Chain A
Amino acid sequence: MSDSPAPLALEHTPGLQHHFADMEQQRNASSLGMWIFLGTEIMFFGGMFLAYLVYRMWYFNEFAAGSRTLNLPIGAVNTAVLICSSLTVALSVRAAQLGKRMLLVTLLVLTILFGLVFLGVKAYEWNEKFTEHHVPGYSFHFKQESTEKPVDQGRAQIFFSLYFAMTGMHALHMIIGVGIFGVITWMAWRGRFTPEYHTPVEIAGLYWHFVDIVWIYLFPLLYLIDRRPHG
């Protein structure tokens, strides 16, 4: 909090914007801003999680059947890729604090690569859904296995509607994240960050971790509804 009187004419610290009294105030404001923004993101995804909860309770049979058609090994690999990217993000914040520029750039590039691998795999999975006619709409057809309880086509579409909406929104956040990290990498490459000033790395990292956590919830909710052998 700004309890000390702020001198107006201060020598310009690099990275300090004119309307802040000092670096600490600026840093606090930026990270508070990102935390609040992530709060709004929880509400944003929350709408879909609510819809998921309601329909999963009503149509558990269709949700379980739909879930079994998702590609579990690939989804698990993708989860691992994303967790690795969170590790590189955490390390990159450390590298920024220590002022190790090349290490920082390397870790940021690795993060972007992990993010792109995740998106590529996701695209592959989506494409699978298209060929299997699991995309909601006129051509939707859910072919059920003989051992399953009868699956209602409409309700199955609701599962896949939520699947596409939720993973789609998550992927969109990933794309934005990759874009942000592109900018951060460029700034790091140009040597804009110092041990005193690296707030952008930190708050971009917060965003990245958040998007990861969303996936950590999405993966079991979508892929692991009921994997027990049935019959």
Chain B
Amino acid sequence: MATAVSIAAEREHYLNKEYGIRSWLLTTDHKRIALLYLASITFFFFIGGFFALLIRLELLTPAGDLVQADTYNKLFTMHGVIMVFFFLIPAVPAVLGNFLVPLMIGARDLAFPKINLLSWYCYIAGGILVLHAMLTGGLDTGWTFYTPFSTAFSNTAVVEAGLGVFINGFSSILTGLNFIVTIHRMRAPGLTWSRLPLFLWSHYATSVIMLLGTPVIAITLVLVVLERAFHLGIFDPTRGGDPLLFQHLFWFYSHPAVYIMILPSMGVVSEIVTCFSRKRVFGYYFVAMASIGIAVIGFFVWAHHMFVAGMSLYAALIFSILSYLVAVPSAIKVFNWTATLYKGSVSFSTPMLYAFGFIGLFTMGGLTGLFLAALGIDVHVTDTYFVVAHFHYIMVGGTVMGYLGGMHYWWPKISGRLYPESWGRLAALIVFLGFNLTFFPQFILGYLGMPRRYWQYPPEFQVLNVLSTAGSTILAVGYLLPMVYFLWSMRYGKLADDNPWNAAGLEWKTTSPPPTFNFEETPVVTWEAYNYNELPALEEVRVER
């Protein structure tokens, strides 16, 4: 064992094959590109988080004292734009997906490695434009860019920010394109569709949404930019244009975008839950098909964001019913994960704690989503903190929990090192507590009638707002911790062996970290996914060492 590890330290792998900035910026290795994404989305995550903390600080007191209304508008806009487009959407697919899709299917790389690198450059170019817009004039339209405010009235850098998000969209499209072609064409011999890990099913479904949804927001933003820059009038009500058309086009992408954020995390949770309960995932086909179901139905629910914007009652009814329907595949997943735990030998390692966090928080976010899909209740809580709490439970409670769980689960594979397990568990606990303290009070605030996007509020809302702000600082600590000990472990962490969790899946069959072309020999798959009944048990000791 000890000798195996020490050999691994000197072995050539994707991290030590080449050094220097060029070897990173011009790399076409999917694993290195994943790390480029990891560094850049972490950067944007902390910028977006910084804005979030400023927002919470302003809302500590009822009066608008820390910032003025205009500044506050810019704060929540930049928080939203950065977190949605530059963190949540790329987080799991571009980092974990990029790293794992070829490994999980036994391929040497994604189908189009250069296009993969191009996608990162699109991300960076879009990010630079948005950051520049942020520093020169900011953006105050909300992340939703609603017209005619964005096209005719806002005095901020809408054109530049819009272009930034547009260019960043190509990074999504190119990633999705690469995943679909890779999963179709590059699977190892014997790896049939029914043997695919659920992580791949969920990334396949995500890619479909990226490919069909992103171009729509792209053209919508182009039209907004053209309207602002060259006075085209497509969304301009003074010339007969219809702002509602903008909203339809915007939400046609932006509702499915929620599934771009959540589906990959669901895939992560499927991998973790089955590994740490040492059981084949319950109802494999149902979980796989639920991903596809979510992707398909998810395209037909967008107008639930517009129930109060003006729409025929019958249209609203249909969109309401469809929104209920899309909850079914999500519920199937939650039930199947729970059933997987049943009679499994469950261990509470860090990734599993995040997976539990995901299941609980996602369930709350999903159930409150049904409140919003109900026409009557939606009218009461539209544009209140109830909505804010709901989508943060999905996006932060769901997506980020899954992302962090996955980062811990695959960290030994990515870095070749183990993170400190007890710190990991502590951080998971802090994130969970901090998250709930931040966002649960917002459900109550919203239900009591506190509107979103205001920089001041009536004094009777203060207690709950103070709780929320307190929670956000705890959450910030919880997010900083993993970054610190991941960085620490890259140098001082114990060396990981090839399969520290005794997990199923091809990614664990190669060395940690993998060689540049992933496998010494193309693997041949003769087993079903998650054959944990054939694998040895995972002793707690191994995890604790």
Contact = CB atoms under 8 A, between A and B. Distances in A.
Classify the secondary structure of A's interface with B: helix
Contacts of B182: 29
B113 interface: yes
A157 to B, nearest CB: 5
Interface in B203-252: 211-216, 218-220, 222-223, 226-227, 230-234, 236, 238-242, 245, 249
B453 to A, nearest CB: 27
A177 interface: no
Q: Which range contains the number of A residues in contact with the other chain?
A: 35 or more
A157 B230 CA distance: 12
Contact of A4 (B189, B212, B215, B236): B189
B249 A50 contact: yes
Interface string A37-52: 1011101111110110
A171 to B, nearest CB: 14
Interface stretch (B74-82, B104-112, B117-125, B463-471): B104-112
A47 B249 contact: yes
Contact of B240 (A37, A39, A41, A152): A152
Interface string B397-421: 0000000000000000000000000
Interface in B269-321: none
B390 interface: no
B108 A19 contact: yes
B238 A154 contact: yes
B504 to A, nearest CB: 21
Contacts of B173: 37, 40
B219 A47 contact: yes
A176 B149 CA distance: 33
Classify the secondary structure of B's interface with A: helix
Interface in A36-75: 36-37, 39-41, 43-48, 50-51, 54-55, 58-59
A40 B175 CA distance: 13
A169 B521 CA distance: 46
Contacts of B238: 154
Interface string A10-24: 000000011111000
A1 B185 contact: yes
Given A25-B186, A37-B177, A136-B233, 13 more contacts: A32-B180, A33-B178, A40-B173, A43-B213, A44-B215, A50-B249, A137-B230, A153-B239, A158-B233, A161-B227, A165-B223, A165-B232, A169-B222
16 contacts: A5-B524, A8-B521, A18-B108, A18-B517, A32-B185, A40-B177, A40-B211, A51-B223, A51-B245, A136-B230, A136-B231, A136-B233, A158-B234, A158-B240, A161-B227, A165-B234
